[in-house]
């Protein structure tokens, strides 16, 4: 198990380095950074001055290692737009995004897994049809529209929940539902398909032949085997929620990291964009690593050769 974890960890570090290289290169792929900072009407001497000031005249690799080591210390440079350290800016926004992401994926898992199991236990029953209906709805409905519908119902008509802001837990209810509902269909279907397959397995019959109760057969013997691919999917979706919840954050005016990324791209604020790309990728890498560990724990065939 330890060897497996170390191998995965080494892989994760390599992926992180690659991603950091790509995200740093973005700075140069989108045109001359010095003239971008100087603005439209800057003279050639001003641009040159800025180039030397920011160190853009140095060789690429030197700039990259410089940036990487600063980043490792938590220093991502200054935001061009806010004239503030990027690290502070992001730290401020990240808590909102992380809270939203955790609530979203929890909502998705807590609805999708039980629904998927129930649907698999009684295929073509009412509960299976209901699960199918909900998942098709979730896949077909765009988040922005679903978010607006919720606002109309719960904020405008019923006045139960605040439509925007992030001051209390109430602000997170609707964003959680919208974000979670987006991830729910895939998880539900994967759980259902996995359970249907596992419930036909010979070892399920063995468990019944031992005299195990249906409940025990379902949850001890079947679900543990069925849930392995679900863990991987949930990890990817969790990463997606943290990096890509821009739409949901905009609708509910939750000023999270996704929203900041969107603003910074519009403002050509490259240090912020670089740092966010790196952080969002790190989320993916960390969650993939964790899901690999979880899967190895769930399925001994992965960890014991």
Partner 1 sequence: MDDPILSVRHLTIDIPLAQGTMHAVRGIGFDLKRGETLCIVGESGSGKSLTSLAIMGLLSKKLRQKAEKLQFAGLDLRNQTPRMMRGLRGDRMAMIFQEPMTSLNPAYTIGDQLEEAYLLHRKAGKAEARARAVELLGKVGITAAESRLSQYPHQLSGGLRQRVMIAMALMCEPELIIADEPTTALDVTIQAQILRLLSDLQREMNMAMILVTHDLGIVARIADKVAVMYAGEVVEQGTAAEIFDNPRHPYTRGLLRCIPVPGKTKPGERLGSIPGIVPSLVGNFQGCAFRGRCDVAEPICSEMVPVQEEGQEHMWRCIHAAGEGASEGVSQGVRP
Q: Based on the shown chain and the rule CB under 8 A, indicate whether residue 40 belongs to the binding site for partner 1.
A: no
Nearest distance in Å: CB 115, partner 1: 22
Give the range of 176-184, 221-229, 230-238, 279-287 binding partner 1 by CB under 8 A: 221-229
Q: Based on the shown chain and the rule CB under 8 A, indicate whether residue 127 belongs to the binding site for partner 1.
A: no
Nearest distance in Å: CB 151, partner 1: 44
Query: Pick from 211, 237, 246, 252: which binds partner 1 (CB under 8 A)?
Result: 211
* HEC profile of the chain: CHHHHHHHHHHHHHHHHHHHHHHHHHHHHCCCHHHHHHCCCCCHHHHHHHHHHHCCCCCHHHHHHHHHHHHHCCCCCECCCCCCEHHHHHHHHHHHHHHHHHHHHHHHHHHHHHHHHHHHHCCCCHHHHHHHHHHHHHHHCCHHHHHHHHHHHHHHHCCCCCCCCCCCCHHHHHHHHHHHHHHHHHHHHHHHHHHHHHHCCHHHHHHHHCCCCHHHHHHHHHHHHHCHHHHHHHHHHHHHHHHHCHHHHHHCCCCCHHHHHHHHHHCCCHHHHHHHHHHHHHHHHHHHHHHHHHHHHHCHHHHCC
* CB-nearer residue toward partner 1: 40 or 202: 202
Q: Based on the shown chain and the rule CB under 8 A, indicate whether residue 3 belongs to the binding site for partner 1.
A: no
Q: Based on the shown chain and the rule CB under 8 A, indicate whether residue 219 belongs to the binding site for partner 1.
A: no
Nearest distance in Å: CB 181, partner 1: 30
Nearest distance in Å: CB 127, partner 1: 17
* CB-nearer residue toward partner 1: 65 or 206: 206
Query: Pick from 27, 113, 207, 285: which binds partner 1 (CB under 8 A)?
Result: 207
Q: Based on the shown chain and the rule CB under 8 A, indicate whether residue 59 belongs to the binding site for partner 1.
A: no
Q: Based on the shown chain and the rule CB under 8 A, indicate whether residue 304 belongs to the binding site for partner 1.
A: yes
Q: Contact residues for partner 1 (CB under 8 A)? A: 201-203, 205-213, 221, 224-225, 298-301, 304
């Amino acid at each position: 198990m330890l060897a497996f974890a170390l191998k995965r960890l080494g892989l994760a570090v390599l992926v992180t380095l690659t991603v950091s290289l790509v995200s740093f290169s973005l700075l140069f792929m989108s045109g001359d950074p010095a003239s971008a900072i100087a603005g439209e009407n800057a003279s050639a001497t001003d641009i040159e001055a800025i180039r030397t000031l920011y160190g853009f005249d140095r060789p690429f690799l030197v700039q990259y290692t410089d940036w990487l080591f600063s980043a490792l210390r938590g220093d991502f440079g200054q935001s061009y737009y806010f004239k503030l350290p990027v690290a502070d800016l992001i730290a401020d926004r990240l808590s909102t995004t992380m809270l939203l992401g955790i609530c979203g994926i929890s909502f998705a898992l807590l609805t999708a897994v039980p629904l998927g199991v129930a649907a698999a236990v009684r295929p073509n029953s009412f509960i299976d049809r209901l699960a199918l209906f909900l998942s098709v709805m979730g896949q077909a409905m765009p988040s922005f529209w679903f978010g607006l519908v919720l606002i109309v119902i719960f904020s405008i008509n019923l006045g139960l929940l605040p439509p925007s802001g992030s001051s209390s837990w109430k602000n997170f209810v609707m964003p959680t539902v919208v974000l979670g509902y987006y991830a729910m269909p895939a998880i539900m279907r994967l759980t259902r398909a996995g359970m249907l397959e596992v419930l036909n397995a010979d070892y399920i019959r063995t468990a019944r032949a031992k005299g195990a109760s249906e409940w025990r057969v379902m949850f001890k013997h079947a679900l543990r085997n069925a849930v392995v691919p679900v863990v991987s999917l949930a990890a990817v979706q969790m990463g997606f929620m943290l990096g890509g919840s821009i739409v949901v954050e905009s609708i509910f005016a939750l000023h999270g990291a996704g929203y900041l990324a969107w603003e910074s791209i519009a403002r050509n604020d490259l240090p912020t964009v670089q740092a966010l790309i790196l952080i969002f990728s790190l989320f993916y890498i960390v969650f993939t690593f964790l899901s690999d560990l979880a899967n190895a724990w769930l399925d001994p065939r992965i960890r014991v050769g």
